[in-house]
Structure 1
Amino acid sequence: MAAKPVLEIAPEKVAHVIIKAREFGAKVGAWDASPEDGDADEDPSAILEDFSNDPTAAEIAGFVDALNDDEQAHLVALAWVGRGTYEAEEFDEAVETARNEQNNATASYLLGLPLLADYLEEGLEKLGYSANDIESDVL
C-alpha cells in the first residue's frame, strides 16, 4: 500500500469543516420573510431555515479564510479527490491545480459545493485517514 500523502492541513481542521458543512447542508429554504419572522422560541424548526446571513455559513467562511494558502489548497484538493475529480494517487496534482486556481473566494467556492461534507470525508478516507475517528476526536 502506498504511503499516505502528507496533508498540509490538520485532519482535525478538515473535520471541523465537515461538521459545520453538515450543519449548513441541513438547512432548508426559508419559509418566512426574515430571520425575525422565524423565531425559534415560537417555532423550533425555524433554526433550520437558510437565510442569506446564516451564521453557520459565516462561521465556515471565516474558518476557511483564516487558513493559510497551503491549507486552503489542500482542503480544495481533498474535496476534489472525494468528488472523484482526481484519484487519491493524483493528490499532489490536485493540490498543485488548487494552488494555481486559488483566489480570494476559496470559502465561497467550497460553500457552493452541495455535498462538501461528503466530499471532504470521502477525500480523507481515500487518502487513508479515518474520517469518523477524526470527527469523533473533534466532537
Structure 2
Amino acid sequence: MAELPFSDAEIEQLVVRFNAVMAKEQTDIPDLGGNATDDEVAATLQETAGDLSRDELTEEIENMNDEQQDALVALFWIGRGDSGPEEWEATKKLARQQHEGPVSVYLLGQPEVGEFLAEGLDKMLKFGVD
C-alpha cells in the first residue's frame, strides 16, 4: 500500500497556499485609472515586496526532507496524469532521479500546481494510501 510522508490536511493546506500565490500577478500597474475602491482589488492580486506568501511557501517546501519533496513532485505528476497512483514508488524514485534545482522553483513554475496536487491527492486517496 502507498504511503504519503505527510497528512492529507497538510497537502490541502499547501494547495490553498499555492493557489493564493499563483493567483497573484507579478506586474505592477502604476496608474489603474479607475475608481479608488476598485483599485484595491487589483492591488491585492499583485505581488509586492512586502508579500511574504511566495517566500514562505518556498521556504516551507525547501525545508521538507528529500522524501517529502519527492512525494510532492510525484503527487503533482500523478495529478497531471503523467503516471498513476499504482506507480507511486516508481514515480517518487523518478522524481528523485530527475531532481535538479529547488523543488519550490519547479512547482511554482507550473501554472496549475494547486489543481494538480489536489487531483493527485484525490487519486491517491481513491487508490488507498496510509
For the aligned pair, the TM-score class normalised by the smaller chain equals 0.7 to 0.9
- Give the percent of matched residue pairs that are identical in Structure 1 and Structure 2: 28
User: Does the alignment pair 1:22 with 2:33?
Assistant: no
Aligned-pair distance for 1:16? 2.1
- Once the 2 structures are TM-superposed, how far is the Cα of residue 92 of structure 1 from its aligned partner? 1.1
Distance 1:29 1:105, change over 3 A: closer
Task: Rate the CA distance shift 1:52–1:93 in 2: closer, same or farther, 3 A.
Answer: farther
1:75-94 equivalences in 2 (<5 Å): 75-94=72-91
- SS of corresponding position for 2:13: helix
How far the C-alpha of 1:51 sits from its partner, in A, is 4.8
Q: C-alpha offsets along residues 6-56 of structure 1, whole Å, 9 cap, x if unaligned? A: 0122323222210101101221352425xxxxxxx9942201113577522
How far apart in 2 are the matches of 1:68 and 1:31?
35
SS of equivalent residue, structure 1 residue 50:
coil
Aligned residue number for residue 99 of structure 1:
96
Give the alignment's Cα RMSD to 1 decimal. Answer: 2.4
TM-score by length of 1: 0.75
Aligned equivalent of 1:8: 5
Say which structure, 1 or 2, has more relative contact order (CA 8 Å, 6+ apart).
2
Residue 44 (structure 1) aligned with residue 40 (structure 2): yes
Q: 1:56 aligns with which of 38, 53, 57?
A: 53
User: 84-93 or 10-19, which moves further after superposition?
Assistant: 10-19
Q: Which moved more, 1:120-129 or 1:69-78?
A: 120-129
